[in-house]
Structure 1
Amino acid sequence: MTLIRADHERGITTLALDSPANRNALSAPLVAELGEALARCAGDADVRAVLLTHTGGTFCAGADLKAPPDPAAFVHLMRTVVELPQPVVARVTGHVRAGGLGLLAACDIAVAGPGSSYAFTEARLGLAPAVISMPVLPRMDPRAASRYYLTGERFDAAEAARTGLVTLAADDVDEALAPVLDGLRRSSPQGLAASKALVTATVAETFDRWSKELTARSASLFASAEAREGVTAFLERRDPAWVL
């Protein structure tokens, strides 16, 4: 079963997360398949940029809680997006939760539609946005990150743009993307790679510094009794024991 749908047109390779049965959750197979697809793009001279999008009403629901990927594998995927020589542009017309926000933040440009919504839900499950902090915190307004990390509140595309989590909120995503993709097609491969290296330097340095520690922290949290209660409560559609 293919979980990533790929198309190519005029220098733009579109990779669509195509696992609607679990809301494009980050299962081990999806993480592996997306990583392989990105690696193929990196080695293809005909790919000027990657457009990352989704099928269904959810861009990415975060980790597949029934079969979560190894944290190190997910870290590698996010770093692949950051270090890909071609720009990666996210087209978001659905919901994004938890780990999906790490994938989104790793992208160079993100355009979001009015039907999209966002939430860092980890704290409500006894977890924390550990590994996704590496691409998220260098891009997001610190005060906004504090609020949404701690409360798990849902926010809309306009707020995501205001806080720096996405580049642009637009009523018509494809109309807003048109000049972005045109600009990328007009830029040279060398120019794009060198320019991307400049704007992603801080994010790349964050991965260099924190990958090992935050991967271990994520694994420890997932293995904790509190997280087991939080995940079980989520799957059983009830409040966890700590809710007051």
Structure 2
Amino acid sequence: MSTLIGRTRARAVETLSLDATDTRNALSAALVAELASALADCAEDQDVRAVVLTHTGGTFSAGADLRDPPPPDALVGLLRQIVELPTPVVARVTGHVRAGGLGLLAACDIAAASTTATFAFTEVRIGVAPAVISLPVIPRTDPRALARHYLTGERFDPAEAVRLGLLTTTADDVDEALAPILDGLRRCAPQALAETKRLLTARVLETFDRDAADLTALSARLFASDHAREGMTAFLERRDAAWVV
């Protein structure tokens, strides 16, 4: 039985909830594996018309679990699985999203967040780069707007996330905003949904086919670097890294 992914269903919509609040839903090897397993179940279930990916606690995901990170190829596989799932995947965010969590967000077909959510690509601040998550992020965002956030690690708000292309919509009541979207998906023919999603994700999957191996290697190299060791140690010790001026 899964201990890190909550599962509920209502009117053919399966909700998968990241439920590792003690680590702020960080992407550990175990969480990635359990989420991949739950998504595989959804792909095989003809009664599932859409998947909602959400969270418990105040953080959607804090990014990679620095104490138990998933192998880069496992994260690549999870992101591709979301993109390739024949049913639409809808992100529901009511908290903070950091680093690898933004990869999950970008892999989803539709993403909605409350107006209190916050976002940041924090990889550069711990000595690595947003390598693997670039596979879904870069094809779905505005490159000029994205550059600032990739390069600075600054925190930004939901309105900026919409402008970037990371979010579809933001609202004070995210469930109210998602209700007509989910009802719309329930009215669609499953085969038509799958083929329409295939049209929409073709460019993203081309990026996976072309760049996944190189970005996986880059991620592994950077995480093994001296800068990464210093950055992660500083993060865990809640201090500035040695390079901060």
When the two structures are superposed, what TM-score results if normalisation uses the length of structure 1? 0.99
The whole-number CA distance in structure 1 between the counterparts of 2:115 and 2:146 is: 21
Unpaired runs of at least 5, structure 1: none
Equivalence map 1:85-124=2 (5 Å): 85-124=86-125
Secondary structure of the residue aligned to 2:140 is coil
Instruction: Name the counterpart of 1:73.
Output: 74
Q: Secondary structure of the equivalent of 2:60?
A: strand
Counterpart-to-counterpart distance in 1, 2:127 and 2:18 = 27
**Counterpart residue type for residue 54 of structure 1:** H
1:67 CA drift (Å): 1.0
Residue 53 of structure 2 is matched in structure 1 by 52
Residue 143 of structure 1, CA deviation: 1.1
Match of 1:212 in 2: 213
Q: Which amino acid aligns with 1:18?
A: D
CA deviation after TM superposition for structure 1 residue 209, in Å = 0.4
Name 1:152's counterpart in structure 2.
153
- Deviation string, structure 1 residues 47-80 (Cα, Å, up to 9, x no partner): 0000000000000000001111100000000000
Q: What is the distance in 1 between the residues matched to 2:14 and 2:68? A: 29
Q: Distance in 1 between matches of 2:164 and 2:228?
A: 28
Report what 1:37 is aligned to.
38
Q: Distance in 1 between matches of 2:29 and 2:122?
A: 20
Matched AA of 1:103: L
Q: Which moved more, 1:104-113 or 1:135-144?
A: 135-144
1:115 Cα deviation (Å)?
A: 1.4
CA distance in 2, matches of 1:144, 1:129: 15
Q: How many residues align?
A: 244
Q: What secondary structure does 1:208 align onto? A: helix
State percent identity of aligned pairs: 69
Cα displacement string for residues 86-139 of structure 1 (whole angstroms, at most 9, x for unaligned residues):
000000000000000001100000001011100000011110000000100111
**Alignment gaps of 5+ in structure 2:** none
The two structures, once aligned, show a CA RMSD in angstroms of 0.6
